[in-house]
Amino acid sequence: MIKDLENIFIGSHAKIMDAFTSLEKSNKSIITSDKWKRDEGGGGHTFVIQDGNFFDNCAVNFSSIAGKKLPKAALGKSISQSSKYGYRAMGVSVIAHPKNPFIPTSHMNIRLFCVMGINNTIKKWWIGGGYDLTPYLPFKDDCINWHKEAKENLDLYNKSFYKNFSKNCNEYFYIPHRKERRGIGGLFFDNLSNMTLEKSTNMLSGIANTYLESYQSIISKRKTSKFTKEQKEFQLLRRGRYAEFNLIYDRGTAFGLQSNGRIESILASLPKDVKWSYKKDKNYIKMEKEVLKYIGKDWNA
């Protein structure tokens, strides 16, 4: 049973690795593909492209871990503590930081938590996941399509999902100390267990597919755009926001750190190069003003 569930996630993982690899066309030394085991139980597969022609870096992680007690960060409001038979948590997470600042950073995650019962049965389970987009030099059409495609897919499962999940996404990917969202949103949900397990995992695969297709469509439109040194600098500085969110607020990162996870895999979500600057020059201020218009808008409206 657990094996069958794992295979669903492994399928999504493989599909995204293939798609990202085909964007590179360069030598293989930029790719690291590590299968690993965890002392406390379970393991995973971390796939990283670094210093490519297309990606500054990206990470496509699969993990399936077993443990005795769920870490605090995994517990939603309404979820009771785990059973004496332990838990399983499996998921795929993707973060992509393309070199070209005209192509947004994107993130996708699908996950399943199982509280185990006697004889390896699943006593209780819930799913979570979503995806979001962080443009630097934004385009209106990209934002509209990103949300439109997310809605079309989720409407297949429940007509209320998109509205709720996109609202959650805006709330979740918020950086309080900056008073800014991380990007133009998308989907975020957690603790969902009101469909059958089969329908739930179908939906997770569908979310991974839709994410990939929507992102590929943006990539194909923007990948030939030429960018200036100032535009690249702007991207590196705005990536600081991304690092701040992931390190301070992200529940996925907290879950990984608290569950004694594999640090290299968890922090592979961070951008390869980041800048922080106290001073802001005129170019930066102008570009930031523009991108904040997009980030401040409700594209799900």
Name the site residues for a copy of itself (rule: CB under 8 A). Answer: 32, 46, 48, 50, 57, 59, 176-178, 240, 243-244, 247-248, 257, 263-264, 266-268, 270-279
CB of 265 to a copy of itself, least distance (A): 8
CB of 84 to a copy of itself, least distance (A): 27
Backbone angles phi, psi at 138, to 5 degrees: -80, 155
Give dist(CA 26, CA 23) in Å, integer. 9
Residue (89 or 266) nearer to a copy of itself, CB: 266
| Helices 161-172 and 140-154, axial angle in degrees (round to 10) | 130
Residue (19 or 274) nearer to a copy of itself, CB: 274
Residue 129 zone, left/alpha/beta (φ > 0; ψ -120 to 50; rest): left
Catalytic residue among 45, 97, 107, 147: 107
CB of 98 to a copy of itself, least distance (A): 16
Dihedral of CA 278/283/284/289: which sign?
positive
Residue (39 or 198) nearer to a copy of itself, CB: 39
CB of 52 to a copy of itself, least distance (A): 12
Helix (H, G, I), strand (E, B) or coil at 87: strand
107 is catalytic: yes
User: Residue 247 has what DSSP assignment?
Assistant: I
Residue (57 or 201) nearer to a copy of itself, CB: 57
Nearest to 245 by CA among 172, 169, 165, 164: 172
Q: Known catalytic residues?
A: 107
